[in-house]
Amino acid sequence: MPTESTNPADPTRSAALEATELTVQYPHAPEPALDSVTLVVPRGTFYAVLGPNGSGKSTLLRALLGMVPHAGGRAHVFGRLVSDWDRRALAREAGVVTQSESMAFPITVRDLVAMGRYPYLGALQSETLADREAISEAMRLCDLESLEQRFLSTLSGGEIQRTRVARALAQEPNVLMLDEPTASLDVRHEMEILELLRASADRGMTIFLITHHLDLAARFADRMLLLDRGKVAAEGRPRDVLQEETLQHVYGWPISVSDDPATGVPRMTPLSTALQPAPERAADSS
């Protein structure tokens, strides 16, 4: 039973995101993309969603925000049914960084981040002081101040990604949802974004992160969801979700789990299935 408060409009008492038996079926697909998924993302949680390709992670994000039709079940955002939310009001609560975007026209960093203020501005209204402050703060958090007037096409992949995260932050959301934001980033940029997300979570923002980096998810997330072909395979704390048998079953690959001495969190090591494992490696694995 999801933790709905008795007063659904009371924002202080409900979970950030909830799914109850959520099912999504794409037309012409043989199987449902999501099959009776139930989850609760409490406020202020860093919540990671993992699973193999095609397991329904992106669909889950879309379904939670009502962007795809539900074939069954319900989704709530801050206690209110997602279909009851006005689009702009929802955009003031939930900021989303999708997997990829392509710009139709050239745009500067500052202008792209400024689009995050759309839910707050009327048709021809100009930016207010509050808007400018939100934009500046978002750019500062993502270390974009020196790139403010640069055109996006002149930036590196990591810089573009930081700009998109900054746009979502400029929405001043209470829940930030990201779909594989670090996919093409090098280790430094990846860590910077994850530490930024972690710091935001510590300050009370709810983070919903879809990723396929098991290790980093284990390190940064408070809770995790493991999806397998549209169904929930495991849910809970990282240590509880990241069990060897579960992982091997879901990913179809032998994975060894151990505690990382540097960080103290579980570390995943995919095992080789070569016919002749080298003797040295055999001695190392635990």
Partner 1 sequence: MKPLSWAALLGLAVILVFLLSIRLGSVGLTTGEVFAALRGEGDLNIQRIIVDLRAPRAAMAILVGGGLSLAGAVFQALLRNPLAEPYILGISGGAATGAVLAIAMGLTASLSWALPAAAFAGALLAIVLVLRVAATADNRVDVRVLLLAGVVVGAFFAACISFVLSISDARTVRSAVLWMMGSLAGSDWTTVVMVTLYTLPAAIALVGLARPLNLLAIGEETAGYLGANVERVKRVAYVLASLLTAAGVAATGVIGFVGLIVPHGVRLLVGSDYRVLLPLSFLAGAVFLTLADVVARTVMSPAEVPIGVITAFVGVPLFLLLLRRSMGARHGAGIES
Give yes or no for a contact between 24 and 91, defined as CB atoms under 8 angstroms apart: no
CB of 13 to partner 1, least distance (A): 25
Strands 94-97 and 175-179: parallel
- Phi, then psi, of 158 in degrees rounded to 5: -65, -40
CB of 127 to partner 1, least distance (A): 11
CB of 149 to partner 1, least distance (A): 11
Is 215 strand, coil or helix? helix
CB of 277 to partner 1, least distance (A): 34
CB of 100 to partner 1, least distance (A): 9
Q: In what order do the strands lie in the sheet with 223-228?
A: 94-97, 175-179, 206-210, 46-50, 223-228, 231-236
Residue closer to partner 1 (CB basis): 62 or 219: 62
Residue closer to partner 1 (CB basis): 127 or 215: 127
Residue closer to partner 1 (CB basis): 149 or 286: 149
Cβ within 8 Å of residue 116, ≥6 positions away: 95, 134, 135, 138, 166, 167, 168, 169, 170, 171
DSSP state of 169: H
DSSP state of 7: S
CB of 34 to partner 1, least distance (A): 18
Cα(19)–Cα(76) distance, integer angstroms: 6
230: left (phi over 0), alpha (psi -120 to 50) or beta: left
Residue closer to partner 1 (CB basis): 179 or 228: 179
Residues lying near partner 1 in the complex (CB under 8 A) are found at 27, 65, 67, 69, 87-92, 94-96, 98, 101-108, 111-112, 115-116, 118-119, 121, 123-124, 151, 153-157, 171, 184
Residue closer to partner 1 (CB basis): 154 or 263: 154
Cα(88)–Cα(84) distance, integer angstroms: 12
Residue closer to partner 1 (CB basis): 33 or 96: 96
